[in-house]
């Protein structure tokens, strides 16, 4: 076994216990006499599994009964368009809060379907700070307010849920879902690609307040309509059954390891360890994000001399520290510290960083 520490931003490291269980039962799942991949999504066994998975997630995240839980395909990017088509009428306005690459993209993809208003915009900071809540220009007539609680590329995270009054708050939680307790009732809709904290890529989680399902009035194919997916319990068409199953294993893994409060404590400690190493390096390493906006999940950092980047990455790989190369938009490094990354992985990274600095200081 030569598995090592994998800091990939997504698809990302999954809990080894989850992978081991999936491996054990890959050819024969429960008493199906077949792989879980090979059975009908509408059969009793799989339907019982999805009910179990939903119940596990509802317990884990304390999801109120008046929220629907959907497991769809297409990633968060498909939702950028679909949420506008479903939550707004043509010509209606929606408020977008720009805090990094992903919130920008969410606004751009929604633009053909809703009048996008920039309610707040942190571009002037090069996305090193969050737009202060006091400066947001919210429109009480907006269909919804959209924001991105954690920006995977720029490494910003909202420390609190913004208060937006009675307009439904819609959040792309792709890179921080289930990393801490979630106050679902504060949101109109939460959505997340699975490939960071939930499971493999190819699955998207939606948690949507039931009354919002009635909003979609424009003509559209049923496959675009949240209400249709809800009526069909996410089986309007054949779902990604293996991804759904792996999400279920991951929810059980989270519960076994203490639930969301325990995840939050572990994630806090991991992030504190890494930021302390960066800040304590005397400028050898640098994270440009203002401290209270720093992401616990994605930590971009830069060496004082970019000419050392290639050597850093090669040394890290040799030390078993994988996928630390930063996003091409920013360069430098990025360490993603999702639930599946244990403290030992971060300790190993910090030890390597310190050793590298001694060798190149």
- The residue from 102, 244, 252, 325 that is catalytic is 102
Regarding 141 and contact with a second copy (CB under 8 A), the answer is: no
Regarding 271 and contact with a second copy (CB under 8 A), the answer is: no
* Alpha carbon separation from 311 to 9, 286, 318, 333, 350 (Å, rounded): 21, 17, 11, 12, 16
Could you list the beta-strand ranges (E) of 35-107: 67-72, 93-98
Which tokens belong to 73?
A: 């395909």
Please choose, out of 34-42, 50-58, 183-191, 247-255, the segment that lies near a second copy by the rule CB under 8 A: 34-42
Q: Which residue from 76, 208, 271, 350 is in contact with a second copy, where contact means CB under 8 A?
A: 76
102 is catalytic: yes
Regarding 217 and contact with a second copy (CB under 8 A), the answer is: no
- Residue 32 is given by DSSP the state S
Site for a second copy in 148-207 (CB under 8 A): 193, 195, 200-203
Q: Which is nearer to a second copy, 5 or 284 (CB)?
A: 5
- The residue from 196, 252, 270, 325 that is catalytic is 196
CA nearest 56: which of 323, 260, 192? Answer: 260
Q: Which residue from 30, 37, 52, 137 is in contact with a second copy, where contact means CB under 8 A?
A: 37
Q: Least separation, in Å, of the C-beta of 74 and a second copy?
A: 5
How many helices (H) and strands (E) the chain has is answered by: 9, 14
Site string for a second copy, 291-320 (x = CB under 8 A): -----------------------------x
- Residue 137 is given by DSSP the state -
Q: Would you call the peptide bond into 268 cis, given omega within 30 degrees of 0 as the criterion?
A: no
User: What sign for the dihedral angle of Cα 20, 23, 25, 29?
Assistant: positive
CA nearest 79: which of 186, 171, 188, 212? Answer: 171
Active site residues: 102, 172, 196
Chain residues in the site for a second copy (CB under 8 A): 1-4, 6, 8-14, 16, 19-20, 22-23, 26-28, 33-35, 37-41, 43, 73-78, 80-81, 108-110, 112-113, 193, 195, 200-203, 219-224, 236-243, 246, 320, 322-323
């Amino acid at each position: 076994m030569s598995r090592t520490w994998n800091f990939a931003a997504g698809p990302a490291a999954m809990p080894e216990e989850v992978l081991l269980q999936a491996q054990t039962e890959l050819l024969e799942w429960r008493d199906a006499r077949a792989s879980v991949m090979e059975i009908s999504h509408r059969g009793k066994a799989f339907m019982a599994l999805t009910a179990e998975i939903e119940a596990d997630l509802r317990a884990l995240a304390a999801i109120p009964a008046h929220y629907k839980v959907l497991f769809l395909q297409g990633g968060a990017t498909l939702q950028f368009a679909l949420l506008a088509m479903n939550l707004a009428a043509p010509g209606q306005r929606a408020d977008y809060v720009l805090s990094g690459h992903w919130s920008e993209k969410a606004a751009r993809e929604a633009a053909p379907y809703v009048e996008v208003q920039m309610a707040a915009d942190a571009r002037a900071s090069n996305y090193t700070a969050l737009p202060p809540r006091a400066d947001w220009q919210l429109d009480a007539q907006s269909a919804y307010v959209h924001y991105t609680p954690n920006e995977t590329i720029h490494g910003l995270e909202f420390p609190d849920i913004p208060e937006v009054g009675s307009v439904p708050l819609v959040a792309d939680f792709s890179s921080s879902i289930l990393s801490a307790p979630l106050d679902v009732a504060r949101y109109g809709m939460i959505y997340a690609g699975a490939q960071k904290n939930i499971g493999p890529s190819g699955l998207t989680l939606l948690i949507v307040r039931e009354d919002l399902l009635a909003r979609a009035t424009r003509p559209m194919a049923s496959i675009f309509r949240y209400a249709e997916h809800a009526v069909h319990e996410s089986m309007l068409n054949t779902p990604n059954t293996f991804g759904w199953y792996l999400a279920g294993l991951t929810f059980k893994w989270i519960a076994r390891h203490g639930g969301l409060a325990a995840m939050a404590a572990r994630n806090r400690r991991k992030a504190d360890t890494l930021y302390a190493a960066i800040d304590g390096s005397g400028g050898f390493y640098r994270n440009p994000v203002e401290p209270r906006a720093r992401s616990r999940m994605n930590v971009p950092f830069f060496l004082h001399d970019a000419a050392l980047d290639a050597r850093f990455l090669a040394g890290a790989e040799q030390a078993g520290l994988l996928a630390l190369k930063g996003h091409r938009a920013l360069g430098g490094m990025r360490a993603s510290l999702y639930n599946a990354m244990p403290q030992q992985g971060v300790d190993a990274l910090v030890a390597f960083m310190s050793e590298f600095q001694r060798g190149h200081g």
